[in-house]
Amino acid sequence: MTNLAANLVATARTQPQHPAIKLDEYVLDYAALHAAAAAVAGDLREQGVEPGDRVGLVLPNVPAYPILFYGALLAGAVVVPMNPLLKAREVEYYLGDSGMKVVYGWDGSGDVVPTAAEAVGITGIVVPATGPTGLRGTPVEEPVERADDDTAVILYTSGTTGQPKGAELTHHNLASNAATTSETLIEIGPDDVIMGCLPLFHVFGLTCGLNAAVRAGATLTLIPRFDPAKALQVVARDGVTVFEGVPTMYAAMLHSPDAGSADMSSLRTCITGGSAMPVEILKQFESTFGCQVFEGYGLSETAPVASFNQPGHERKPGTIGFPVRGCEMRVVDDEGRDVPDGEPGEIAIRGENVMKGYWNRPEATAEAIPDGWFRSGDIATRDADGYYTIVDRKKDLIIRGGYNVYPREVEETLYEHPAVAEAAVIGIKHADLGEEIGAAVALKPGAEATAEELQQFVKERLAAYKYPRSVWLVDALPKGPTGKILRRNVEPPTE
């Protein structure tokens, strides 16, 4: 049987009293998590939800999330995770596009879910943080049988061009990627405590946090909304052994006033993805907290992990490692031909982790997977050892007077300045050159630097066509739900 929920059933049988989910003082062991999920599955069946029907989740990282997630899977339904910060109009789009039957919201999010559900004529249910109450029907303790290629989750991509598209991830996509993560990348077991500050509605937190923990029988300790001081506190309190985050989380913890006094001695392994990790941040985090940080790479469409700096192999900071088990990667040109090592090209991916397609969008699917290889939209180089380095997003490439400039390279240089906390480099329209280079920079608390000083710092370290002609200081940079810096939302100051 392929159903992803089989992992929960198996772990609940082998270690029923072991803590599965924590939220501060609230603890749910594996037997209780399974029982609560089984009750949800029974209630969904009572509501007429059939295998393959879509069930939405609009919740932060609270215990209700894993209960509802595995409950829907036990019933054979397809889960559609959504960001709890969305407005009703935005949620309504996801409900309509996915053809959802039932949607769950959190009682701390106001009337967003009921309003959206009413607008499209489906059932909207609001639940407390600890999970739904007053459930009907007979609990479904054994997972409904699903095929390898049956969809388990529809994850909507950020929609940088046009409306968001739903990536269909199968039971096999998610189960195999969780197994690869827990067995070969983080190497976790029941004694591990994983920090759950990555959003569970995002594929990184869902696979590498929740699904990997449940498969290995580890404990997932949740933080509903990331806060660096809280994260440092939870690591010490719960003896966190595995921290998973995006680069901005690492930077925030590193620059927290509590960083020097925090007890991080339990930390064994840290993993990062979602966006490029500045090498300076990685090195500082390791030296400050005495742990190892492994950088990897993936996308919603690849469930997510595609490549990784892997234990037992050389670690190359600044790279995204090499393809994980069950996955192949290439660097190709616009015609799909391999480019030589060291030359930039688009990452193409094939393997058991690649989605089966975009929900109800055959044309978009054919464009993304033209020849069996998924086109990532990310530009990278591969070295002689087979390690990949992200150069940039294909659409983030700046062409200044005919020269290609990759924002990542300029940002990396800015991060070397001791006063810089965050940086985002963008292209600004220019009458003569086509595009000029601009940089928005947020300084570390208490640090001082002028825009001119930062510009000169980069100018001394990069080719003349690469340094930003415009630098401006900001309090903070715009970020997505996972904490990833959103370059496309960075605006240059008006004159």
The string of DSSP letters for 401-457 reads TTEEE-HHHHHHHHHTSTTEEEEEEEEEEETTTEEEEEEEEEEPTT----HHHHHHH
What's the average model confidence in pLDDT over 140-164?
Answer: 87
Structure confidence at residue 409 (pLDDT): 86
Q: If we measure between CA atoms, which residue out of 256, 295, 267, 291 comes closest to residue 279? A: 295
The answer to whether residue 327 sits within a structural domain is no
What pLDDT does 161 receive? Answer: 53
Side chain identity at residue 425, one-letter code: V
Domain membership of residue 85 as a residue range: 4-177
Q: Is residue 427 part of a domain?
A: yes
Confidence of residue 464 (pLDDT cuts 50, 70, 90): confident
Burial 302-336 (b: 16+ CB within 10 A, else e): bbbbbbbbbeeeebbebbbbbbbbbbebbbbeeee
Mean pLDDT of the chain: 95
Asked if residue 376 belongs to a domain, the reply is no
The pTM for the full model equals: 0.89
Assess if residue 417 is contained within a domain.
yes
Report the percentage of the chain scoring pLDDT > 90.
87
User: Which of 146, 177, 208 is the last residue in one of the domains?
Assistant: 177
Flag whether 22 is in a domain: yes
**pLDDT of 5-61, one tens digit each?**
999 999 999 999 999 999 999 999 999 999 999 999 999 999 999 999 999 999 999
Amino acid at 194: I
Percentage of the chain exceeding pLDDT 70: 99
**Rounded Cα–Cα distance for residues 100 and 102 (Å):** 6
Q: Looking at the predicted structure, is the pLDDT value of residue 490 above 80?
A: yes
Span 138-148, average pLDDT: 97
Residue 247 predicted with pLDDT over 70: yes
Per the structure, how many domains does the chain have?
Answer: 2
Residue 495 pLDDT: 67
Condensed to tens digits (0 to 9), the pLDDT of residues 320-350 reads 999 999 999 999 999 999 999 999 999 999 9
Residue 31 forms part of a structural domain: yes
Residue 474 lies in a domain: yes
Task: Output the domain CATH number for residue 432.
Answer: 3.30.300.30
User: Which pLDDT band, with edges at 50, 70 and 90, does 159 fall under?
Assistant: low
Q: What is the pLDDT of residue 87?
A: 87
CATH value at residue 103: 3.40.50.980
Last residue of a domain, which of 112, 144, 177?
A: 177
Going by DSSP bridges, is the β-strand pair 54-58/102-106 parallel, antiparallel, or unpaired? parallel
* Domain membership flag for residue 392: no
pLDDT of 163 reads 78
Among 133, 160, 177, the domain boundary falls at 177
